[in-house]
Amino acid sequence: MSAKAYTGLFILLCSLFCCSKSNDSTPPPEPPKPEVFHLNSVTVDGQHANYNFKCKNVKTTPTIMLVFSAPVNMTSAASNIYIRDKNNATVALTYNNPTPTDSNIVELHVKNPLQNIALYQLTVDPALTSQKGTKIDTTVNVGILTVIDSTDKFPRISDSALLDLVQKQTFKYFWDFAHPVSGMARDRNTSGDVVTTGGTGFGIMATIAAVNRNFVSRTDALSQTQKIVSFLKTADRFHGAFPHWLNGATGKVQPFGGKDNGTDLVETSFLMQGLLTARQYFSQSSATEIQLRKDIDSLWNAVDWTWFRKDVGNGPENVLYWHWSPNYNWDIGLRVAGWNEALMTYVLAASSPTHSVPKLVYDNGWAQNGGMRNGKTFLGYQLPLGPDYGGPLFFAHYSFLGINPNGLTDAYANYQTQNINHTLINNKYCVTNITNHFGYSTECWGLTASDDGKQGYLAHSPTNDNGTISPTAAVSSLPYAPDQSMSAIRYFYYTLGDKLWKDYGFVDAFNLEDAWFAGSFLAIDQGPQIVMIENYRSGLLWNLFMSCPEIKTGMISLGFQSPHL
C-alpha cells in the first residue's frame, strides 16, 4: 500500500473515532434543585394580608388560610404556626388541609372565640418544615384586630336619664375622690396628693351642676366649696396667681416641670372662673354664704394680672405671659396668644377690679392684631379662628364653661360660629375617616388632648391624629352639636360601655386600632363633661358666670357684644 493510501486510511479512522466519541458523550443530568419553601399568601376571613400586616374587624371565630409553595408537614405546623394574645398567651387552634389534595394549604380555626376589640398575632415560625423537611425561608407575623361587639352592654334608658347618669357618675371624681385635706380635685386618679388648680375650678362648677341635679345638697356643696377656698387662702401664690399643681395636704407648689415651679396664669384663670361662678351661685344672705363670697373676692382681687405683662425695665409688654417663677423669673417665656383655650385669661384680666389690663393687651397679645384669624373652609365648614381644622376640641370648652358663646361677637369672630364649626369639622374628619382608623364613625368621634397609649399624653386633633378618641371631646361638645354628641354618648355607653364606663364616668381615652383603653381619669377632662352637659340642658353655669358685673364690664371693654352682657 502506498504512503498516500496509508494517509487516507488514517484520516478515515480518525474521523470515525471522533464521530463515535461525540455521539456517546451526552451531558450528565443536572442535580435536583433544592426545594423552595415559602408562604405565598395569608387570608383572614377573606382579607388578604401581607407580611407584618394587620387584619382589622376580624370575627371572633375567624377562618385563616395559609397557602405555601410546597406541601406542609402538618406535625411541624402544629408547633410552628400559632396565634398569641397581647399577654403572649397561646390561642388553641385546629390545623387541617381543606382537602386531601391541598397539602400546601393550612386552614386554621380557633377552638374558643377570640375576645372582641382585641389584638392577636399570627406567627409562622422559621422552624416550620415542608413534607420534604425544608425549613420556611422567613418569619411571618400578621396582626389580627377583632370586631367590635355591637350589642348593648347596659339596658336602654331615655337620653335624659343617660345624661343624668353621665353627670352623676362623672361627678364622683370631684366628690368621692376630692383630696381629703384641701377638697381640691386631684390632677388624675393616680395623683396622690397632687391637686390641680384649673381642674378644681372645673370641679367647683361641676358641684353647682350637681346641686341643680339633686346629686348632692346645697349645704354639702357649700361646705365643700368653703373647704377649698379656705385652703387656697393659705396655699402658695405668687403675685396673687396660683401654680398649676399644689400639694393638696400642705398647699405648697408641686412643680409641673423643670422651671415651672411658680405661677400658671391660665390655670389660675380656670380656677377663678369656677370661684366667680360659685360666688354668684351662693348668693343667699346667710353669714356662711356672705363670708364665702368675701373670701372668693379676696382671692380674685389679689391676682395681679398686670404683673404678667412682664415689665423688665422697658415698660410692660402688651401681652400676658403664661408662667413666672420665683427661681427662674420669665425663663419659660410662653406668651398667652390666641387662638387656643385661654380666652378666659384675657377676659378676667380685663375684668379685674384691682389689676385690669387695657384692650390694647387683648388686641396685641391675644388676638395678635388679627393674626389669630383663620377664615378658611375645612370639610365644608368655615373656621373663623385658630389653626387649620381647629386644633383639639378643648379649645372650645375650657373658657366656655363660663363664657356663653351664643350670640357672642367681637372684632375678630362670631364665637358661636367658631365653636360650632370647630366641633363639626372635628366630627366630620372622624366620620370621613380619610386616615382609615379602625372604629371611627358617626358615633365614634372626638379628638382632643388626653392620655395616649403610644405617647403618654397628646393633644389629638385632625392634624395630629393617631387613632385615639377622647370621650370628653364629644361629650363636652353637646351644646355645639347635640345630635352628633348624643350619638357618641350613646355609643360610648351602650356599645363600648364594658370598656369605657367605670367608677368616675368614661375613661380618659381609647384607641380601637390598638385595642387600648385608658384606665385613667383626669380632672380637666371629667369636669367639662358635667359642666357642658348642664349648659346644654339649662344654661346654668353660663348664666351664673355671665351675671358677674365685673365680667360684663370687662368683656364690653374688650369690644364684645352679646345678648348676655
Q: Give yes or no: residues 343 and 232 share one domain.
A: yes
Which pTM does this prediction carry? 0.92
Q: Give yes or no: residues 401 and 531 share one domain.
A: yes
N-terminal to C-terminal alpha carbon distance within the chain: 141
Q: How many CA atoms lie within 13 A of 119 on its CB side?
A: 16
Question: 32 in a domain, yes or no?
Answer: no
Q: Give yes or no: residues 185 and 211 share one domain.
A: yes
Residue 235 CA, distance from chain mean position:
32
Q: Please list the alpha-helical segments (H only) found in 434-559.
A: 471-475, 482-490, 497-500, 523-537, 540-546, 549-557
List Cβ neighbours of 232 (8 Å cut-off, separation of 6 or more): 242, 271, 299
Neighbours of 327 (CB within 10 A): 9
Question: 102 in a domain, yes or no?
Answer: yes
Instruction: Give CA–CA dist 556/526, Å, rounded.
Output: 31
Number of domains in the chain: 2
State which amino acid sits at residue 24. D
Question: 12 in a domain, yes or no?
Answer: no
Burial of 553 (0-12, 13-18, 19+ CB in 10 A): middle
Instruction: Give CA–CA dist 276/274, Å, rounded.
Output: 6
- Which domain range does residue 202 map to? 159-557
SS3 373: strand
Q: What is the pLDDT of residue 50?
A: 66
Written as nine digits, the cell of 519 is 384606665
Instruction: Give CA–CA dist 440/79, Å, rounded.
Output: 37
Q: Give yes or no: residues 139 and 234 share one domain.
A: no
SS3 323: strand
Asked if 225 and 232 count as a contact pair (C-beta separation under 8 A), the reply is: no
Question: 8 in a domain, yes or no?
Answer: no
Q: Give yes or no: residues 129 and 191 share one domain.
A: no
Task: Give one word for 344, left, alpha or beta, with left for phi > 0 and alpha for psi -120 to 50.
Answer: alpha
Helix orientation angle between 197-212 and 218-234, rounded to the nearest 10 degrees? 160
CA distances to 177, 245, 520 from 191, in Å: 11, 11, 10
DSSP one-letter string for 125-180: -TT-BBTT-PBPSS-EEEEEEEPP--S-SS----HHHHHHHHHHHHHHHHHTTS-T
What pLDDT digit, counting tens, does each position of 116-155 carry? 999 999 999 999 999 999 999 888 899 999 999 999 999 9
Q: Which residues of 447-474 are buried (b: 16+ CB within 10 A; e: fewer)?
A: bbbbbbbeeeebebbbeebbbbbbbbbb
Question: 21 in a domain, yes or no?
Answer: no
Q: Give yes or no: residues 104 and 219 share one domain.
A: no
Q: Give yes or no: residues 243 and 334 share one domain.
A: yes
Question: 342 in a domain, yes or no?
Answer: yes
List Cβ neighbours of 418 (8 Å cut-off, separation of 6 or more): 383, 384, 385, 386, 396, 405
Which residues of the chain fall short of a pLDDT of 50? 1-22
Q: What is the pLDDT of residue 137?
A: 85
- Pairing state between β 323-324 and 510-511: unpaired
SS3 475: helix
Q: Give yes or no: residues 92 and 234 share one domain.
A: no
Q: Give yes or no: residues 120 and 175 share one domain.
A: no
Give me the phi and psi of 318, to 5 degrees please.
-90, 55
State which amino acid sits at residue 529. Q
Q: Please list the alpha-helical segments (H only) found in 378-481.
A: 415-432, 471-475
State which amino acid sits at residue 335. R
Q: Which of 105, 121, 146 is the last residue of a domain?
A: 146
Q: Give yes or no: residues 386 and 277 share one domain.
A: yes
Q: Which of 95, 115, 146 is the last residue of a domain?
A: 146
- Pairing state between β 53-58 and 140-146: parallel
CATH code at position 72: 2.60.40.1220
Instruction: Give CA–CA dist 190/194, Å, rounded.
Output: 9
List Cβ neighbours of 294 (8 Å cut-off, separation of 6 or more): none
Scan for cell 361646705, then name that residue.
223
Q: Give yes or no: residues 451 and 344 share one domain.
A: yes
Question: 483 in a domain, yes or no?
Answer: yes
Question: 402 in a domain, yes or no?
Answer: yes
Q: What is the pLDDT of residue 461?
A: 99
DSSP one-letter string for 21-49: HHHH-PPPPPPPPPPP--EEEEEETTEEE
Q: Give yes or no: residues 529 and 411 share one domain.
A: yes
CATH code at position 260: 1.50.10.140
Q: Which of 123, 146, 169 is the last residue of a domain?
A: 146
Query: What's the chain's length in residues?
Result: 565
